Amino acid sequence: MLASQIASATATAIATAGGWGVEGSLPLLGVVFVAGLGTGLLFLVSLVAYRRRRSAQYGLISVAVGALLARSVVGAGTVLGVVPMPVHHYVEHSLDFLIAAVVLYAVYAYAPGSVGDDTTAD
């Protein structure tokens, strides 16, 4: 009897809330805010490193970390109801691809022995 009441209450809560809704969720907004602060700090550090080194490799890392920061902004917009969920998924997965592509390009293009590097290691 208790199990059926719990199942019924759970089904009613899910139907009422529309499943795991994110819009207006204060705990989720808190998590996104803290992640955004941390990513923003990392982005500033990456910009300082790029400014000190002035190399394309550091610039690419700044682009990748900036894309991570953009993901937090999109996530916050989704929780606040500004960014619809389909747009959220499209933008976030596009940024995931961009981040992976930029980091892999930075590693591939600037690693020792990379294509175009005429020096040979003995």
Q: Distance (Å, rounded) from C-alpha 69 to C-alpha 33?
A: 11
Judge whether residue 97 has pLDDT over 60: yes
Angle at 42 between CA 37 and CA 48, to 5 degrees: 130
Instruction: Match 């500033």 to its residue by tokens.
Output: 44
Q: What is the DSSP letter of 1?
A: -
Tell me the pLDDT tens digit for each residue of 6-62: 444 444 444 444 556 677 778 888 888 999 999 999 999 999 999 999 988 899 999
User: Tokens for 61?
Assistant: 């890392």
Judge whether residue 119 has pLDDT over 80: no
Q: Distance (Å, rounded) from C-alpha 69 to C-alpha 35?
A: 9
User: Tokens for 28?
Assistant: 């989720």
Tell me the pLDDT tens digit for each residue of 61-84: 999 999 999 999 998 898 888 888
pTM score over 0.85: no
